Structure 1
């Protein structure tokens, strides 16, 4: 791939353009919002404006509702030898391309499974897709050259190609992406009118659950409008679980012991199902989850504190597998949770104490 056209210079489009430009591909940038395209160009993502002659690959990074029309426009005008879109829904747009008279042989739907809560070109990074799955949904009629260009795009962006049927993809993302977004927003919505004293008690749990609730509502309306059926089906199942859980909690509050026992069993059953589901989420490098143990360190909110902790861990020969920070409310301090393999806990704790760090017992 020597040349590419990116249509839509938001987070995903600009990130792909940055990755391609960094690897020597000549990238042209187009967007209905010319200011956004200029911003992406100023970041080094490419050259603003459509190419004078056909490029190797056009990357359509527009909202799902506009994918089909944009793909067909690219094909009709001969702007590229192949066209790939990066929208989060695949079945509907592909059918719409056919309805609009588009050519499925030179079009391939795809979805990079990566993103951020922020949107727009200023949130873009060239490494956004590093190590992340990138779904490709070719049909039996997809031209081999277009598939190869798509695979090259995925490789240049550092992602991992995953081939799926378009409708299977939509059901999968309804479960692992679209429904979690709504559930996060539902929990966060409870905080909107909560008393200030209550909100100040927020810990890491509520921060984890509500993190993606900060996403752009307009963007998510576009996404959910393109995949409402599968999302509604999963939410209906969640609603049934919620109804059963509410019933179990009511029983726990009962004066009758038999009902309290039944309620406890109902809540425990849900929590155990949650344990089983969580255990299936791929861990580091996509491998099966590892039972890491946590070392908790008190740090002050000063420059260089995290670097010192990692340096001390490295000097002790301990690899930090994962890390998170829990901020202390109203204080210039917090806790760093260092996840390590079980055998590394004692040597890490010993090294950190010798270096003067304060550790907190779990």
Structure 2
């Protein structure tokens, strides 16, 4: 069964979701996002037309069930442009001209630059509205596409004065049909937001990962979940990120300059840790990080602080499933889960997050059932 054969259900929902979109949707760009949008819409029964400058990518996305090839006479009601940022505006302008009755959106990770380019070119922006699904994977291309990629994820709708809410209704229908949550922002708000939560973190992760190139093998053997978390996104495509960072340069620069100032303070304290106030500066830097991470929305969008319980899990089939089952039997709701493998050891560490008032009871019950607690 291919991903396009899922049927008319939202993954995990357990029941058919009513379709909101009518008509044909044309997707330009059959990479990860384009093919994933196609797969999600096809399971809802939407007629999806795929187009791509690469015949091989187009054929592969079609083979996976993400849509069909273009036909003469296609009249889409919605066009979704899923191409790199440096050609987004040009492709959007082409689609607006080619399909004068269609609403056109794009999913580029910057929103100000394409809108300005279209306005300067005299394009009909009364039928254009930018958008950005906050979803993705480390791997790209149609082979990595998933029909459920957007379920539960925020999807920014970057409205502007040149288009009405009613004219953009088809975009909201698309977002809801894919199981995502529409978030209204201006293009300026969007670009400032992604600079601090996506673009600058990419640079920081890449720079930290670069420190590992010349690290001794013995040092790398000590790597735990901390360095893996910090560098997880460092394997991203450099060519794509050059475009993203260039298109949002001023906002990313602002974030990184502030980060550099903070780093200078830390460096000053480390250079003379015996000086008065040095240790306090270090503590306050770490504390500021605590305050920042506490603001990140958790499950159901809540900014809730959870308690972590670390459980040793044997590296044998079924042990992790058994742990999760027993947590459920104890009657404690699992808020989050993270796994860390111990190099050279036949066990892993499962860090489960629970609300603080349940942590003590969970630890006691797990110990009683024979589990080893490595931290809480």
Q: TM-score, normalised by structure 1?
A: 0.93
Look up the SS of the partner of 2:171 in the other structure.
helix
1:129 aligns with 2:124: no
Question: Is contact 1:4-1:56 (8 Å) kept?
Answer: yes
Aligned residue number for residue 234 of structure 2: 213
Aligned residue number for residue 268 of structure 1: 283
| Cα distance between partner residues in 1 of 2:117 and 2:211 | 38
Instruction: Assess, with a 3 A threshold, how the Cα gap between structure 1 residues 245 and 196 changes in structure 2: closer, same or farther.
Output: same
Q: 2:198 aligns with which of 168, 172, 177?
A: 177
RMSD of equivalent CA atoms:
1.6
How much has 1:305 moved relative to structure 2?
Answer: 2.0
1:38 aligns with 2:59: yes
Q: 1:200 aligns with which of 221, 224, 229?
A: 221
Look up the SS of the partner of 2:48 in the other structure.
strand
Q: Which digits, 9 at most, give the CA deviation of each residue in 1:150-173, with x for residues without a partner?
A: 110111111111111112211111
| Cα distance between partner residues in 2 of 1:79 and 1:316 | 59
Question: Is contact 2:311-2:375 (8 Å) kept?
Answer: no
Aligned residue number for residue 89 of structure 1: 110
1:76 aligns with 2:100: no
Aligned residue number for residue 296 of structure 2: 281
1:360 aligns with 2:371: no
Question: Is contact 2:294-2:305 (8 Å) kept?
Answer: no
How much has 1:344 moved relative to structure 2?
Answer: 2.3
Look up the SS of the partner of 1:146 in the other structure.
coil
Instruction: Assess, with a 3 A threshold, how the Cα gap between structure 1 residues 80 and 125 changes in structure 2: closer, same or farther.
Output: farther
Aligned residue number for residue 303 of structure 1: 317
Q: TM-score, normalised by structure 2?
A: 0.90
How is 1:201-350 mapped onto 2 (pairs within 5 angstroms)?
A: 201-252=222-273, 254=274, 259=275, 261-288=276-303, 290-350=304-364
Q: 1:118 aligns with which of 139, 144, 166?
A: 139
How much has 1:141 moved relative to structure 2?
Answer: 2.3
How much has 1:216 moved relative to structure 2?
Answer: 1.5
Q: Which digits, 9 at most, give the CA deviation of each residue in 1:203-233, with x for residues without a partner?
A: 1111110111121111211211211111112
Look up the SS of the partner of 2:129 in the other structure.
strand
How much has 1:50 moved relative to structure 2?
Answer: 5.3
| Cα distance between partner residues in 2 of 1:57 and 1:300 | 51
| Cα distance between partner residues in 2 of 1:345 and 1:272 | 23
Q: Which digits, 9 at most, give the CA deviation of each residue in 1:250-294, with x for residues without a partner?
A: 120x4xxxx1x3211211221222122112111111112x22122
Q: 1:108 aligns with which of 129, 150, 160?
A: 129
Instruction: Assess, with a 3 A threshold, how the Cα gap between structure 1 residues 56 and 145 changes in structure 2: closer, same or farther.
Output: farther
| Cα distance between partner residues in 1 of 2:262 and 2:357 | 38
| Cα distance between partner residues in 1 of 2:373 and 2:33 | 40
Select between 136-145 and 222-231 the one with higher mean Cα deviation: 136-145
Aligned residue number for residue 27 of structure 1: 48
Aligned residue number for residue 187 of structure 1: 208
- How many pairs align? 355
Instruction: Assess, with a 3 A threshold, how the Cα gap between structure 1 residues 149 and 269 changes in structure 2: closer, same or farther.
Output: same
